[in-house]
Amino acid sequence: MHEPDDVIASVDPSLRVVPAGEAPFADVEAVFGTRGDPATCWCQWYKLRGAEFRAAEPGELRDRLAAQLAEAGPGPGLLAYDGETPVGWCAVEPRPALVRLPHSPVASATPDPDFTDVGVWSVSCFVIPRAFRRRGVATALAAAAVAYAHEHGARVVEAYAVDPAARSKPPAAELFPGTVSMFAAAGFVEVARPKPHRVVMRRVLAG
């Protein structure tokens, strides 16, 4: 198995987090699976206008992600491993790549509405297969996303978290943006709450 060299420090020593573009795409496919929202979205929801997204077949969306991972430059995501097993995905990249964010009722509540600023990065999605949930994988990915963004010139990292405490038992499928507690553990602070259970969180990075 190809093992990426560029390992990003993780808060959990049993996990390693690497740029997904340096991992075999088969490992990305293993995390996204063949059922449910990840296998029909492939982290393209924020990258396409509504009509374009609705017209695309899942296979097209998968191929778009594969092409994005093959491009030069940072992004669009990180992959977590437990040993040789891929156990999670986190989407993180410069905010301008996510063309739908300015039209999102949550993301548009940001205190920094210049969506062309490449110094602002977004953490927009997590995919953790059911077998690997509740093991701190997403928390490790959130921390690694900050380190990765900082390494590649980000001034600010932004997230659009869910606050489970403000909503009675949200289904797991609605937690894909990440939770308030895991972003708080990675040093993010709340900057806006456009909905009772949705929170814009940011971490400002030192130069």
Which token pair is 93? 């990249």
For residues 166 and 206, give the distance between their C-alpha atoms in angstroms, rounded to a whole number.
Answer: 31
106 domain residue, yes or no: yes
Torsion angle (degrees, nearest 10) of CA 41, 53, 149, 207: -160
9 domain residue, yes or no: no
The answer to whether the Cα torsion of 142, 150, 147, 85 is positive or negative is: positive
Q: Please, which pLDDT band fits residue 5 given cuts at 50, 70 and 90?
A: very low
72 domain residue, yes or no: yes
56 domain residue, yes or no: yes
Look-up of token digits 């963004």? 149
What's the chain's Rg over C-alpha atoms? 16
3-state secondary structure the chain: CCCCCCCECCCCCCEEEEEHHHCCHHHHHHHHCCCHHHHHHCCCHHHCCHHHHHHCCHHHHHHHHHHHHHCCCCCCEEEEEECCEEEEEEEEEEHHHCCCHHHCCCHHHCCCCCCCCCCEEEEEEEECCHHHCCCCHHHHHHHHHHHHHHHCCCCEEEEEEECHHHCCCCCHHHHCCCEHHHHHHCCCEEEEEEECCEEEEEEECCC
3 domain residue, yes or no: no
Task: With a cut of 60, say whether residue 11 has pLDDT above it.
Answer: no
107 domain residue, yes or no: yes
Tens digits of residue pLDDT in 67-98: 999 998 888 999 999 999 999 999 999 999 99
66 domain residue, yes or no: yes
Can you give the CATH number for the domain in which 158 is found? 3.40.630.30
Domain count, the chain: 1
For residues 39 and 57, give the distance between their C-alpha atoms in angstroms, rounded to a whole number.
Answer: 11
Domain span at residue 37? 15-204
Which token pair is 82? 């437990």
Look-up of token digits 């509540």? 109
pLDDT at 12: 61
Tens digits of residue pLDDT in 157-206: 999 999 999 877 777 778 899 999 999 999 999 999 999 999 999 999 97
Task: With a cut of 60, say whether residue 108 has pLDDT above it.
Answer: yes
21 domain residue, yes or no: yes
For residues 179 and 165, give the distance between their C-alpha atoms in angstroms, rounded to a whole number.
Answer: 10
Which token pair is 118? 């490449």
Q: Is the pTM of this model over 0.85?
A: yes
